[in-house]
Amino acid sequence: MFRQIMSRLLPVVLCLSLIAIGCTREQSLAEPPAEPSHNGAGDAQSTATPKKSPQVTYNIWGITPDLMYLVPLTVEADRPQDRPNQAVQALTDWPDQSGATLSPWPEGTRLELVGPVKNGKAMVNIANLKSGVFGSAGEGFALNSLVLTLTQFAEPKIDRVQILVDGQTKDSLAGHVDISRPLESGSYLNWISWDGDPVLDPAEAIALTLYFAEPTATYLVPITRFVPKTKEVARAVVDELISGPKEESGLDPVIPAGTRCLGLSLADGTLTVDFSRELRDNHSGGSAAERLTVDAVVHSLGQLPGVKQVQILIEGEKGASIGGHRVLSEPIAPDYLNPVASF
C-alpha cells in the first residue's frame, strides 16, 4: 500500500526546472552502431512524412477511474479564439469516451468563467455542485484539474483562479480545501511516496516528471519522482523510464524489460538517445503501444532545459523502428499529448 507524502493543496504543475541536462555538447555514443535490423520497418510510416498544419488545441485534466492520478488530454479547439471557456466547459462535458479517464467533477456540475481575466486572475463560478459526492481526494482532484486547465493559457495569461460557488466566495467546496483565496499551481504532479522508497534529503534530490501508461494503455500519466541530485539529468530520466513505474502504482511500463541506454548527446537543441536492441526486440508490439513508448520518451526528455526535440536511435541506428509502425528517421518534438479519440 502507499502513503501520500504530499498534502499540499495543489500539487499540480509539471516540474520543469530540472537543473542541467548533463550533456551540454555533442558526444560520441557509448556503443558503435549494430548491423541494421528491419523488424518490419519497411512498412512503417516515416517521421519525415510532411505534417499537417498544426491544430489549435487546449489541454484538460481528468482522473483515472481508480482516483489515483491526474491525466492531461489534448482536445481540438472548435473556437480557437475562445479556448479558456471551451476548456472549462469540456471539464464537465468530458469528451473522452474511452473509459480510461473521467471528469473529476460530479455529473451536472456547471463551471463558468466570470468576467475578464485581470492581472492573471481568472474567476470561475461553480453551480449545481453535488459536493456530498466528494471525499478529500476527490475535492482536491477537481480543483487541481480546473487550475491546471486554466493556467495553461498565455493569452489571456492566467496564473491563479478564484473559485465562486453560486456567485459567492466560500471557504471550501466540501470541507477539505480552502477556496476563500485564489488558487495557484504548485510544484509537483502526481507525487506519491511508496513504502520502501529511499528517504532523500530535499536539498540533495531533484524532481523528474516521467510518463507511464495507465492500465488500458490508452494514455500516458505524468508522475513526479525524486532521485539523488545529478548533473546528468537526461541520463537520470532515461534510467527511471527504464526502471518503470512502481509495481503497486497501477501503471504500466513504456520501455521493455532488458533495455539499456547506450548513450546520450545534446547538440543544437536535439537530444539524441541511443537504446539497446531490446527496445525493439522485447517490445509488446502494436501501433498504440509503440506510440506510447515514443511519446513517453519524447515528453519525458523534451521538458528538460535546452531540449527542443528528441532523436531516438536503436543500437546507434537512425531510421530504426520500435514496433514496425513508425520509422524513427527524424528528431521528434513534444507535440500533442494524449489526444482524445475524436482529435
Average pLDDT (203-215) is 94
Helix (H, G, I), strand (E, B) or coil at 148: helix
What pLDDT does residue 177 have? 93
pLDDT of residue 1: 38
**What is the crossing angle of helices 136-150 and 83-93, to 10°?**
150
Q: Which of 141, 11, 176 is nearest to 65 (CA)?
A: 141
Residue 68 located in a structural domain: yes
Distance CA 93, CA 103 (A): 8
Mean pLDDT of 102-121: 95
Average pLDDT over residues 59-69: 96
Dig out the grid coordinates for 100 from the structure. 480510461
In a domain, 166, yes or no: yes
Least confident of 2-11, 170-179, 182-191: 2-11
Q: Is 50 or 225 the better-scoring residue by pLDDT?
A: 225
pLDDT at 26 (0 to 100): 33
Residue 269: the pLDDT is: 97
Confidence check: pLDDT of 25 > 80: no
Residue 285 CA to residue 6 CA, distance in Å, equals: 36
Task: Indicate the residue type of 17.
Answer: S
For residue 44, is pLDDT > 90?
no
Say yes or no to pLDDT of 40 above 50. Answer: no
The CA-CA-CA angle for residues 235, 241, 244, to 5°, reads 140
Helix, strand and coil in the chain, % to nearest 5: 20, 25, 55
Task: Supply the pLDDT for residue 187.
Answer: 80
Residue 219: pLDDT above 90? yes
Whether residue 252 is predicted with pLDDT greater than 70 in this model: the reply is: yes
Judged by DSSP in three states, 138 sits in: helix
d(CA 157, CA 165): 23
Cβ atoms 222, 101 nearer than 8 A: no
Q: Average model confidence (pLDDT) for the chain?
A: 85
| Percent of the chain scoring above 90 in pLDDT | 71
What is the average pLDDT across 273-293?
Answer: 94
Distances (CA, A) of 161 to 80, 283, 289, 299: 21, 43, 36, 27
Residue 342 has pLDDT above 70, yes or no: no
Indicate the DSSP class of residue 323: S
Domain housing 85: 57-184
The domain tally of the chain equals: 1
Predicted confidence at residue 93, as pLDDT, reads 96
The C-alpha cell that represents 51 in the structure block = 505534417
Q: 308: pLDDT confidence band, cut at 50, 70 and 90? A: very high
* Residue 104 confidence (pLDDT): 96
* E strand residue ranges, the chain: 2-3, 45-46, 57-63, 70-76, 110-113, 121-127, 160-165, 183-184, 193-194, 205-213, 220-228, 261-267, 270-275, 309-314, 326-327
Question: Do the domain assignments include residue 78?
Answer: yes
pLDDT at 53: 61
% of the chain exceeding 70 in pLDDT: 84
- Specify the residue for cell string 482516483: 67
In a domain, 151, yes or no: yes
Provide the pLDDT confidence category of residue 297 given band limits of 50, 70 and 90. Answer: very high
101 contact partners, CB below 8 Å, separation of at least 6: 62, 63, 64, 65, 71, 73, 214, 219
Residues 6+ apart with CB under 8 A from 165: 125, 126, 127, 129, 173, 179
Cell numbers describing residue 272: 539524441
Which residue has better confidence, 25 or 231? Answer: 231
Beta strands 110-113; 121-127: pairing state: antiparallel
Dihedral-angle region of residue 213 (phi above 0 means left; psi in -120 to 50 means alpha; beta otherwise):
beta
Q: Is 55 exposed, middle or buried (0-12, 13-18, 19+ CB in 10 A)?
A: middle
Q: What is the mean pLDDT of residues 142-168?
A: 96
Tell me: the pLDDT tens digits for 121-150? 999 999 999 878 888 789 999 999 999 999
Q: Identify the band that residue 198 occupies on the pLDDT scale cut at 50, 70 and 90.
A: confident
Residue 333 placed within a domain: no
User: In whole angstroms, what is the distance from residue 275 CA to residue 164 CA?
Assistant: 50
- Report the largest interatomic distance among the alpha carbons of the chain, rounded to a whole angstrom: 68
Q: Is 261 helix (H, G, I), strand (E, B) or coil?
A: strand
Task: Among 27-31, 166-170, 266-270, name the one with the lowest average pLDDT.
Answer: 27-31
